Amino acid sequence: MSDAVVIARHLNKVVTTSEAPLQILSDVNLSIQRGSSVAIVGASGSGKSTLLSLLAGLDLPSSGEVLLAGQSLTALDEDQRAALRGLEVGFVFQSFQLLDSLNAVENVMLPLELAGRRDARQHATELLERVGLKARISHYPQQLSGGEQQRVAIARAFASEPAILFADEPTGNLDAATGQKITDLLFDLNREHGTTLILVTHDERLAARCERALHMQAGQLQAEQAV
- The domain tally of the chain equals 1
Average pLDDT over residues 89-105: 92
**226: in domain:** no
Predicted confidence (pLDDT) at residue 76 exceeds the cutoff of 50: yes
**Which positions ≥6 away from 221 have C-beta within 8 Å?**
28, 29, 30, 214, 215
User: Do the domain assignments include residue 103?
Assistant: yes
CATH number at residue 191: 3.40.50.300
pTM above 0.85, yes or no: yes
| CA distances (Å), origin 49, targets 25, 131, 143 | 11, 26, 29
pLDDT at 183: 87
Residue 155 included in any domain: yes
pLDDT at 108 over 80: yes
What confidence tens digit (pLDDT) does each residue in 154-186 have?
A: 999 988 889 999 999 888 888 888 888 888 888
Q: Does residue 212 lie in a domain region?
A: yes
Does residue 27 form part of some domain? yes
Residue 1 has what pLDDT? Answer: 39
Q: Is residue 30 part of a domain?
A: yes
- Can you give the pLDDT at residue 125? 96
Is the predicted pLDDT of residue 198 greater than 80, yes or no? yes
Q: In terms of residue numbers, what domain contains 41? A: 4-221
Residue 225: predicted pLDDT: 54
Residue 144 is assigned to a structural domain of this protein: yes
pLDDT in tens, 8-63: 999 999 998 888 889 999 999 999 999 999 999 998 889 999 999 999 999 999 99
Rounded (5°) CA angle 164-169-172? 145
How much is the pLDDT for 26? 95
DSSP conformation class of 60: -
Say whether 213 sits in a helix, a strand or coil. strand
Any idea what DSSP says for residue 88?
A: H
